[in-house]
């Protein structure tokens, strides 16, 4: 049995270490980086927020992310199987209960995919209109309202996004790795080019100062710490689900802590590049950065209309966002597909992928209006995702036997981790996950 599992894992696994890292970074890099990080950084203390965010990224990138990779690799399977095997580690009688627990974070993954595909469809619409010059001549607010407040307004683009993601997943890790090697470098190069272009806009100095000069008084504001922690959680895709399936495809020859730290590093670079594009630009134009989706579809296009070669930069901006969106959707689709084929043995992989795509598109087209999309995403981000992250943290550090988790963490590492790493997981990572969950619920009730 062990030999057959290992052969299967080798067949579907990532071919190279960097292929795995790029795929994991692709999952993490998305809208949380492109507008979430700049918006929160600008709204909650600038440089002070950045310092706190980096602290949490270090904690989660060194403990939370490796534990999810390790749970997946240990089980040689994704969300449902990993939870079942983690709970069975404590007692075989708990295996079924663990499998049931895994359904909640998995539900969070499919729910976020439904909403995420809609916003990527908006991006594809913006790219299309940029290619034909339409976006350079319209009133951007009127243009955005014309489709974001109209039912079934981006169906063709929505369908292309879902089918395009489906095509990139036909051969599991092999497909993900190959597409990530193209899409992720494209994202970084494009945003680097945009950041350089923004640097030449008059009046950007104030934006740079706000980003990199800490306002120390912000460090005593508890909300700055809460938002920085939440952003680090979501930016690294620590959701108790998605990263588990990539861990299942990771070779036993790789150090999970090392690859997780590399993932966190490149995710942070991506977020910083996005901030270097958005924050200085909106400061230069005196625009409110707290516009949410409107920042990408109203504010930035208006700025691009005003600069030389604006159409070209609009095209490359939305191309980069498509790259970020598709690589994130790949992870969500793969996590659900793998769990379906694990749980229901007779379901073929291609049929499972088709079912996921059908659910994402079928439900998603009913919320193409921003008035429907917003509440849906709030529901997922406030309730399902934080609770899923908590369940994962508790499962790895309080349910799974310590020796089983540590044996997986220490595979292929040159310097084995011990009590310090494990206790940091139990007494720092788990409480932080619970705190985030409680605060998210309290804020929702309060407001």
pLDDT in tens, 189-219: 988 998 999 999 999 999 999 999 988 888 9
Please tell me the predicted confidence (pLDDT) of residue 16. 80
Contacts of 186 (CB under 8 A, 6+ apart): 319, 320, 323
Please tell me the predicted confidence (pLDDT) of residue 291. 64
Split at pLDDT 50, 70, 90, the class of 181 is confident
Q: DSSP readout, 144-156? A: HHHHHTSTT-SHH
CA 249 – CA 17 distance, rounded (Å): 11
3-class secondary structure, 447: coil
- Reply yes or no on whether the pLDDT at 347 is more than 70: yes
**What whole-number percentage of the chain has pLDDT above 70?**
95
383-to-166, 303, 368, 442 alpha-carbon distances in Å: 27, 35, 21, 11
Please tell me the predicted confidence (pLDDT) of residue 394. 97
Contacts of 386 (CB under 8 A, 6+ apart): 233, 433, 436, 437, 440, 441
CA 311 – CA 130 distance, rounded (Å): 6
Please tell me the predicted confidence (pLDDT) of residue 156. 96
Please tell me the predicted confidence (pLDDT) of residue 2. 38
Split at pLDDT 50, 70, 90, the class of 226 is confident
Please tell me the predicted confidence (pLDDT) of residue 444. 64
Please tell me the predicted confidence (pLDDT) of residue 28. 83
Does domain 2-446 match CATH 2.120.10? no
CA 242 – CA 126 distance, rounded (Å): 28
Task: Name the DSSP letter for residue 288.
Answer: -
Split at pLDDT 50, 70, 90, the class of 70 is very high
Contact criterion met (CB below 8 Å) for 327 and 183: yes
3-class secondary structure, 86: helix
CA 254 – CA 322 distance, rounded (Å): 30
CA 58 – CA 53 distance, rounded (Å): 9
Where is average pLDDT lowest: 30-44, 89-103, 134-148, 348-362?
Answer: 30-44
Looking at 344-384, list the stretches that DSSP marks H as alpha helix, in order from N- to C-terminal side: 349-364, 370-379
Neighbours of 297 (CB within 10 A): 26
Contact criterion met (CB below 8 Å) for 150 and 353: no
Instruction: For the chain, count helices (H), then strands (E).
Output: 25, 0
Q: How does pLDDT run across 255-309, given as a tens digit for each residue? A: 999 999 999 999 999 999 989 998 898 888 887 776 667 778 888 898 889 888 8
Please tell me the predicted confidence (pLDDT) of residue 223. 87
What's the mean pLDDT in 227-254? 90
CA 134 – CA 137 distance, rounded (Å): 6
Split at pLDDT 50, 70, 90, the class of 104 is very high
* Domain ranges (residues) in the chain: 2-446
The pTM of the full predicted model, rounded to 2 decimals, is 0.90
3-class secondary structure, 238: coil
**What whole-number percentage of the chain has pLDDT above 90?**
58
Please tell me the predicted confidence (pLDDT) of residue 264. 95
Greatest CA separation for the chain: 66
Task: Name the DSSP letter for residue 136.
Answer: G
Beta strands in 14-88 (DSSP E): none
What's the mean pLDDT in 145-157? 93
CA 327 – CA 179 distance, rounded (Å): 8
Where is average pLDDT lowest: 21-35, 219-233, 318-332?
Answer: 21-35
The CB-side HSE value for 117 (13 A sphere, CA atoms) comes to: 34
Split at pLDDT 50, 70, 90, the class of 7 is very low
Closest CA to 241 of 414, 94, 392, 17: 392
3-class secondary structure, 117: helix
Please tell me the predicted confidence (pLDDT) of residue 446. 64
Please tell me the predicted confidence (pLDDT) of residue 17. 83
Beta bridge partners of 214: 46
Please tell me the predicted confidence (pLDDT) of residue 118. 95
């Amino acid at each position: 049995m062990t030999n057959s599992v290992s052969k299967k894992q080798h067949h579907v696994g990532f071919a190279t270490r960097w292929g795995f890292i790029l795929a994991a970074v692709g999952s993490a890099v998305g809208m949380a980086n492109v507008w979430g990080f700049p918006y929160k950084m600008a709204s909650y203390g600038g440089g002070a927020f950045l310092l706190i965010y980096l602290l949490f990224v270090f904690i989660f990138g060194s403990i939370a992310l490796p534990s999810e990779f390790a749970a997946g690799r240990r089980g040689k399977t994704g969300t449902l199987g990993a939870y079942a095997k983690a709970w069975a580690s404590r007692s075989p009688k708990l295996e079924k209960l663990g499998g049931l627990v895994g359904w909640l974070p998995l539900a969070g993954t499919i729910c976020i995919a439904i909403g995420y595909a809609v916003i990527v469809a908006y991006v594809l619409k913006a790219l299309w209109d940029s290619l034909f010059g339409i976006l350079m001549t319209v009133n951007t607010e009127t243009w955005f309202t014309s489709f974001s407040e109209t039912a079934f307004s981006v169906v063709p683009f929505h369908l292309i996004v879902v089918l395009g993601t489906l095509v990139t997943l036909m051969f599991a890790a092999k497909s993900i790795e190959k597409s990530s090697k193209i899409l992720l470098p494209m994202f970084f190069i494009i945003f680097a080019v945009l950041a350089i272009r923004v640097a030449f806009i008059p009046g950007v100095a104030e934006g740079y100062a706000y980003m990199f000069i800490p306002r120390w008084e912000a460090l005593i504001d508890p909300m700055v710490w809460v938002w920085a922690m939440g952003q680090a959680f979501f930016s690294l895709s620590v959701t108790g689900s998605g990263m588990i399936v990539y861990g299942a495809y990771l070779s036993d020859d790789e150090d999970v802590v090392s690859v997780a730290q590399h993932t966190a590093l490149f995710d942070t670079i991506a977020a910083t590049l996005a901030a270097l594009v958005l924050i200085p630009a909106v400061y230069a134009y005196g625009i409110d950065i707290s516009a949410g989706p409107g920042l990408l579809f109203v504010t930035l296009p208006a700025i691009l209309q005003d600069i030389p070669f604006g159409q070209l930069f609009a095209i490359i901006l939305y191309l980069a966002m498509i790259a970020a969106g598709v690589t994130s959707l790949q992870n969500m689709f793969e996590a659900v597909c793998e769990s379906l084929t694990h749980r229901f043995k007779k379901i073929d992989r291609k049929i499972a992928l088709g079912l996921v795509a059908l659910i994402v598109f079928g439900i998603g087209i009913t919320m193409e209006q921003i008035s429907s999309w917003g509440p849906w995403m709030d529901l997922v981000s406030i309730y399902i995702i934080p609770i899923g992250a908590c369940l994962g943290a508790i499962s790895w550090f309080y349910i799974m036997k310590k020796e089983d988790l540590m044996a997986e963490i220490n595979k292929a590492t040159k310097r084995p981790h011990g009590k310090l790493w494990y206790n940091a997981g139990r007494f720092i990572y788990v409480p932080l996950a619970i705190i985030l969950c409680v605060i998210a619920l309290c804020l929702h009730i309060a407001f």
